[in-house]
Structure 1
């Protein structure tokens, strides 16, 4: 990736702000100029990610997402502009990915034990989800952004867990910009966005995990400058059913957890919301259609694929590097 170097105008010190949200933690590493109001910045960052959680969490009874899911089919529901922005992006990625990313799979997510309704797969709920009449997300969910509202045209549950965290990182980047921060790295549970470079002009170095369940190891290092990155994989969030590991990402076509040779997909994009959604879409697309789709769209993507015969617990992976990943010789800096 291109690197630019410039001297900071004022002496900077590295500080880290962080806090809890969405059953995980957000953080911001900042090369702070003298005079930066850290207390105000901490407050505004926490408020930004908190607002996303309050609007889009399926676990909160009073969230805007819950209101939408509980609303009768065909009735318009007033929604905040932030949530409509996320829904609009989700539907766009759904269309461009051929349905790989689908924000209308909430019932399937719940049936398999990854949602708010239950913490284990339910055979009856899975059968019901599979028997439901399929409807493209664009037809099932209608947005009226000028009017600040949306409505469901079919009985469905919207799920934004594959995009909301990325959007929360973008909101953090907006807050950092409003506070005059020029050098920072915002992060939330594996989704990251770089604001500029580090104060010395070098890119922000981000570790890419090796996809091994139960282990923390670095596969390579990604360098970021004014860029976002997100990774989706099958090795962190899963349930064990009869000795079989079921990943939390749903394949909308099969109404079941993703089950293919893709161990992880890492996407670079201008916004973390886009990177987050596309990482999910390409994971679902699989080891053949995923790279083909990414090439057609000119995306910067790194696929880690499990080799045939490789052990599931100690991943033996092959790389498929596209765009800037290929130009830089893979993920390793």
Structure 2
């Protein structure tokens, strides 16, 4: 399951203790990396990794658009107007997605997939010609999270139009949260879980301090840390458009599509990083704010007390902007 470009760099010390472990494996079209500190003696490393892999396979089976018989894809094939029973995890993610859709005034939309595919950022290769206005408008009439109706307890999901759901902008964050919950059930209280750049922290790092994470600079020459931050007990996600793009006739088309216009973003916001309690919310908010742009995004951040850091393109390079709630995390 591929999501938006993530640009967070994890700054770790080497694990030196006997019960300090690092686990890694493939998932969601990328890899997970887990750092564990002071693991309880009763936890078996092999069994723990098996449990992590099983949990992430479950997430994929629920929410992947690349698995034909996933729960999400079965829903996408369901009859319009029919209430479909869904699992609690899928209902939770859809509920959060609908909340973000409302809060961002449509900038975050889990039905935008057909437009992403039209512009050549889905499974199909880049188009030789950019989409026509008629093609864009035709798809805009069939997307929109307002076509979704969610009922809880029992969990039933209905689509009133033939929209197709794609959770790739939030599923990695949800996967991080699921792994974090698993670790806590095993009695592990000091960890950092990362999937494709989205991460969640708890407790302390191998040095006994808060976890240290670097926000990556949008540097085409390689991975460079723009700003280091220390954070514990929170989640971090970053969204940006500077690595996944193509050019046609001298015009740059980035992979981030604004559901409200049906077209790639044109503003100068290069990346946005969000700190939140859950990684799913941080993941979704980072995407929403990236679509909204620096001015509207920071207005939302200040209105809701969100911890947000942005890098905005200027003629000289990049300008840092951040919300009031983000300032305490900066190492200054």
**TM-score tier after normalising by the smaller chain length:** 0.7 to 0.9
Aligned to 2:328: 327
Within a 5 Å distance, the mapping from 1:164-313 to structure 2 comes to: 164-198=171-205, 200-213=207-220, 215-242=222-249, 244-307=251-314, 309-310=315-316
Pick the aligned partner of 2:36 from 30, 36, 43. 30
Change in Cα spacing, 1:126 to 1:327, as seen in structure 2 (3 Å) is same
- Cα deviations by residue, 1:3-53 (Å, 9 ceiling, x for unpaired): xxxxxxxx7632111110111001110012333211111011111122111
Supply the distance in 2 between the matched residues of 1:156 and 1:56 (Cα, whole angstroms). Answer: 15
More deviation, 16-25/66-75:
66-75
Alignment CA distance shift 1:125-1:62 (3 Å): farther
- Alpha-carbon distance between aligned partners in 2 of 1:127 and 1:48, rounded to the nearest angstrom: 43
Q: How does 1:53-132 map to 2 (within 5 A)?
A: 53-116=60-123, 118-121=124-127, 123=130, 127-132=134-139
Instruction: Write the distance in 2 (CA, Å) between the matches of 1:164 and 1:126.
Output: 31
After TM superposition, the score normalised by the length of structure 2 is 0.88
93-102 vs 241-250, which moves further: 241-250
Once the 2 structures are TM-superposed, how far is the Cα of residue 72 of structure 1 from its aligned partner? Answer: 2.4
Separation (CA, whole Å) in 1 of partners of 2:94 and 2:252: 30
Cα 1:75/1:191, change in 2 over 3 Å: same
* 1:244 Cα deviation after fit: 4.1
Give yes or no for contact 1:108–1:126 (8 Å, CA) kept in 2: no
Of 157, 164, 174, which residue of structure 1 is paired with 2:164?
157
Aligned partners of 2:144 and 2:163 also within 8 Å: no
Higher relative contact order (CA closer than 8 Å, sequence separation 6+): 2
CA distance in 2, matches of 1:23, 1:239: 21
Q: 1:260–1:34: structure 2 CA closer, same or farther, 3 Å change rule? A: same
CA contact (8 A) 1:106 1:156 kept: no
Unaligned 5+ segments in structure 1 are 1-10, 311-315
- 1: CA distance, partners of 2:74 / 2:246: 28
Partner residue, 1:7: none
Cα deviation, residue 238, structure 1: 3.0
Indicate yes or no: 2:24 matched with 1:18. yes
Offset, 1:251:
0.5
Deviation at 1:212? 2.1
Judge conservation of contact 2:109–2:145 (CA < 8 Å) in 1: no
User: What is residue 318 of structure 1 aligned with on the other side?
Assistant: 319
Consecutive unaligned residues in structure 2, runs of 5 or more: 1-16
| SS, match of residue 33 in structure 1 | coil
